[in-house]
Structure 1
Amino acid sequence: MLLAVRWRRVLVMIFLILLAAILTWIYWLYRPPYALYDYLTEKELQSARASDSMSNKSAKFVLFNQLQGAGFNNQVQEILIYHHLSLPFIWRPRFHQPLPLSAFLPGPTIDGVPVSFLEQICPQDDTVYIQIDALYDDLWRTSQKILARPEKCIIITNRIMHWNYLSSSALSQVWPSFQQYLGRYFAWSPQILDITRRTQKELRLRPHQSHYTQHDSSNQNQSGDSYMALHIRRGDFKSHCASLASSQTPFTTWASLSSLRDSRILSAITLQAQAHPHVRTLHILHDASIDHPNVYIDIMKLKAALTNPDWAARNGWGESGPMRRITESSMIPIKHGEYDFTVAVDMELARWADVFVGNGYSSLSSQVVAMKDGVGGWDPEGYYSDMIL
């Protein structure tokens, strides 16, 4: 009896030691790269101090009322649209933003000035505070007129890129100029691009050969499989998607472009698998976590169906058969301090996929749509047929 008690104590001790080791490893792996962020924050401040705009009396500045505390892509799409709207004005979305923007999106930070410099560069007698109120169809033009005012500093006091506007048909008028903006200014940071190339190599995901541009020459001649990218939403948004669909709420931002088709997940994958028999590798984009196990269950169901030869045959996948290989976000080979960048890496993987199946209510899917067309050098004849929402 005494021996059994001792063994139980030993087993409990071993369990606690293993648990402590696992928790320590998770903390170490997912700990943000604070040293990098501190370095980039200081570099941004130094660049701003050395910028001609600080001493240029004719320079103008605008500060927008920006979304805070939301998901990565909700903020990314707003940053890019505001930057596009404000050009050639000087702006940087630093209000209550704890991370250096150059760690993710270096384009909007070029020649920008942190909001901490506001008092130094904006004299009170040459600063105007404005609330923009306009009908959706006229919101963009009204905002442009306001930014053309003569004051040195313009501070917009209300949020204008709110959900209702982003899901309205009025935003389509912005797309042609925003498309050109992306081609000129959009770029991920070196950290994100390095992880993307590592992931493509280790997961054997070959970028679409027809998408190469002079800016993406490092992706040429890569080995691996042509692949389809699938974005599914997190478990806590499952009911949200259902309610949006039942109320016939329009898709968000660039997912509402009229040339895109919409469908259900399995039928969408089937349509693309039939149209692209050479694509039998799938990469699933998700942000599942231990507190949302439903996503893992959904992924297991998808894998079971999409790798089943009988299921593929019944659904007309042809002689190429079912998916032969499936990768997912949790397989991205991140190193210490790289976890913050995985969402952007997934987006870049989706941009380089032969086929993209997304969710029209998701800002991530919407941004992938914009990146594929605005940045990626796609064949204009086949671009829209290679995406479905």
Structure 2
Amino acid sequence: MQELLFDSYLAYHAGRHFVFDNYTWNRDGSDYTDYNGKLIPSRIPHTALIRGPTVGDPFPPEDDAPLAVVKEYFDKVCPEPMVISGDVLGQTLAGDASAQTVLEAWVAKLHEMDDHRCIEIERDTQQIFTIWIFGSKRVLDIFPGFVKSPIMTQFRWSPLIESAFEANRPILAPPTFLDTLLASLPFFQPTTPYPMISGLLVLHIRRGDFVDHCAHLARWSSQFNGFNSFPGLPDQFEPPPGSGWGENTPENTALYMQRCFPTVEQIVEKVADVRASQAARGLRNVYIMTNGAKEWVDELKAALYALDGLERVTSSRDIKLNWEQKYVAQAVDMLIGQRAQVLIGNGFSSLTSNIVMMRVANGFPPDSNRFW
């Protein structure tokens, strides 16, 4: 999602229409794709996930920026676009170029091509904003301008995502009498469309094949994702001394696994520690975002219920989604995490990074964003 938003931010800066495609798993023309033995849609329209200028919604009235258009329209009005390689600047910029540097270089390049009405970046060439930027602190310098742009100020989740959230709100964290009262008072209206839900602690816990991914991260001394490394956020991580390149010590690997693939005992210990913090005062509901097996989730729930003061512990397996919503369940989880009073996320995860980016954009306190 970050790449989509950044690319539209680039088009906005360059004064060009952004062209958005479907979220595509498979381009072979099939309607469904086999993913780990299950059929999933080969394509999901981005408008099923988000709203805002990135997917063609209008900019604010005072901003006459060109509107984003769907790829089908682009293909119709631009049958012979100017196709350029994503490598055209990737090979000239420094290997450690920041996101802001990349943005400015591409804006300049596109302005050089103002005589070309339609420009397309060649598929399977280098991304404009690479995974190495999103996976490092080099992404952070673009944020001050990005967060104030209409790309972010006008960002909304789709009606499909919002309706799934509202339908499941009573399961996750039912509004209290005080919540309802404050919502009715005009001088207590939130400044963000997605205000914090008091009392809700959200845990993002990857399982399954992430165990191998975490071991891989340890071998290569990886750092947190970029937006999980905002200055001022607690629980930061730096590769420990003694790390190698392609190998690591058993002690360091164990530390990576605790931060990336924690055990039930480590999760409960972290939750207890976070609940003792000022930002976590009043937490009473826990939501577990996870792809873990039911038996493992049940074990974790029981361990969390053993802590005093929790009223309900629910998970991704408990929320009710209709046949459309189940294919965008991760976006539903992101909205839940975005609105939590406190989030404990996986610093190595891009999904956690998406949520933290939105929470920082919402102005939530830095110490409400925690990591294993």
Provide the TM-score with structure 2 as the length reference. Answer: 0.68
Question: Helix, strand or coil for the counterpart of 1:216?
Answer: coil
State the alpha-carbon separation in 1 of the partners of residues 132 and 156 from structure 2.
27
**2:61 maps to which residue?**
none
Structure 2 vs 1, CA of residues 189 and 246 (structure 1 numbering), >3 Å: closer, same or farther?
same
State the alpha-carbon separation in 2 of the partners of residues 129 and 183 from structure 1.
27
Question: Helix, strand or coil for the counterpart of 2:351?
Answer: helix
Query: Within the alignment, does 1:388 sit opposite 2:315 as a pair?
Result: no
**1:99 maps to which residue?**
44
| Deviations 1:328-358 (CA, angstroms, capped at 9, x unpaired) | 1111122243212322111111111110000
How big is the shift at 1:171? Answer: 1.1
State the alpha-carbon separation in 2 of the partners of residues 96 and 369 from structure 1.
22
Query: Within the alignment, does 1:85 sit opposite 2:10 as a pair?
Result: yes
Question: Helix, strand or coil for the counterpart of 2:173?
Answer: coil
Question: Helix, strand or coil for the counterpart of 2:335?
Answer: helix
Structure 2 vs 1, CA of residues 277 and 213 (structure 1 numbering), >3 Å: closer, same or farther?
closer
**Bigger Cα Rg:** 1
Match for 2:84: what amino acid? Answer: Y
Match for 1:105: what amino acid? Answer: I
Query: Within the alignment, does 1:361 sit opposite 2:345 as a pair?
Result: no
Question: Helix, strand or coil for the counterpart of 2:120?
Answer: strand
Q: Quick check: 1:192–1:345 contact (8 Å CA) kept in 2?
A: yes
State the alpha-carbon separation in 1 of the partners of residues 309 and 23 from structure 2.
48
Query: Within the alignment, does 1:156 sit opposite 2:160 as a pair?
Result: no
Q: Quick check: 2:172–2:286 contact (8 Å CA) kept in 1?
A: no
State the alpha-carbon separation in 2 of the partners of residues 354 and 203 from structure 1.
13
State the alpha-carbon separation in 2 of the partners of residues 199 and 271 from structure 1.
28
Structure 2 vs 1, CA of residues 297 and 238 (structure 1 numbering), >3 Å: closer, same or farther?
farther
How big is the shift at 1:297? Answer: 4.3
**2:313 maps to which residue?**
326
Q: Quick check: 1:105–1:189 contact (8 Å CA) kept in 2?
A: yes
| Deviations 1:95-148 (CA, angstroms, capped at 9, x unpaired) | 784322211112212132222334543374x72524331222332321221232
State the alpha-carbon separation in 1 of the partners of residues 303 and 74 from structure 2.
56
Match for 2:160: what amino acid? Answer: Q
**2:138 maps to which residue?**
170
How big is the shift at 1:206? Answer: 4.2
**1:141 maps to which residue?**
104
Provide the TM-score with structure 1 as the length reference. Answer: 0.66
Structure 1 spans left out of the alignment, 5+ residues: 1-75, 313-320
**1:230 maps to which residue?**
203
Match for 2:352: what amino acid? Answer: S
- Aligned-pair identity in percent equals 25
Q: Quick check: 1:102–1:109 contact (8 Å CA) kept in 2?
A: yes
State the alpha-carbon separation in 1 of the partners of residues 205 and 363 from structure 2.
25
Structure 2 spans left out of the alignment, 5+ residues: 25-42, 57-66, 183-187, 237-258, 260-266
Question: Helix, strand or coil for the counterpart of 2:89?
Answer: coil
Aligned length: 287
How big is the shift at 1:301? Answer: 3.6
State the alpha-carbon separation in 2 of the partners of residues 336 and 300 from structure 1.
25
Question: Helix, strand or coil for the counterpart of 2:317?
Answer: helix
Question: Helix, strand or coil for the counterpart of 1:132?
Answer: helix
How big is the shift at 1:377? Answer: 4.7
**1:303 maps to which residue?**
301
